[in-house]
Structure 1
Amino acid sequence: MFRTYKHAEVPLKALLGEDMQLWRSVEQGISLPWFYMTIHEPNVRSMWMLSGPADLEQWVNIESPDLKIGMVQLVSPAYLNGSDRWLMEPLHELVEVELKGSAGAFHLYRTESNHVYCDGSNCTFSDADVKSWRVVYSRSAEGTGLPPLR
């Protein structure tokens, strides 16, 4: 989730209309992975900051010939990526996994450099443990040389 504050708003409602607001800055209050995504529409390219997998899935579901998802970057906190800092990496695949006997699902994030990050508490599992496996997002494998996670 991103937070905004009135003092960071750019006051251009007269030009933009009531539906849109501009912000000089936003705050991320929770240390969770998020996505930086490029959208291509006819004659327009825009960048979006998405707060989590559900937001990315909404865009995947509305993709069409006139609205294409370009590059999706995973922005991951240190605890997820195993480093000492936040990283921004091109995302290759996002998978939702639910294990047998578990209370809920978790996500596997695979970057184009073939790093796999898991946001669940039980990230070591076998195929026999899997109740459901659902690909939420997958960048075209063309030219990446990466096979599917499963």
Structure 2
Amino acid sequence: MSGHVLNGELNGSLSLFREMVRHGVSPNEFTLSTNLKACGLLNALEKGMQIHGFCFKMGFEVMVEVGNSLVDMYSKCGGINEAERLFGSMVDTSLITWNAMIAGYVHSGCGGRALDTFRMMRERPDKFTLTSLLKACSSIGMIHGGRQIHGF
């Protein structure tokens, strides 16, 4: 499945996932995260919500990697409120978690919320964080803020 996603064959990954489940093979956190990524890239919210159900039922929703994938998928599929709810409920986070939420806000046209989230971030930003922040500043016409971030 990961190979399908890496090669842009997103529907191929989801088809394999369906076959796996149909044959009674339980998905693990990596399988779920991979297919959540496929759903986000396909903007397939309904399929992503079904996989979210698997995550919840199997207790994987609390794992940071799966949580990151859920935040990313919902953000990309227009479910920014659900992404925000999941983000706020995560006990453990990583830089990837924060980047997913910040990028999700930018993708949803919420540049100010992206900047607010960055201000709460405890991790050191990386190039993905800074790219999202520059997009956020651009989207809200905050030239001075963009210059500050560029000099970070």
TM-score by length of 1: 0.32
Q: Which has the higher helix share?
A: 2
Q: Which has the higher strand share?
A: 1
Report the structure number with the largest CA radius of gyration: 1
TM-score by length of 2: 0.32
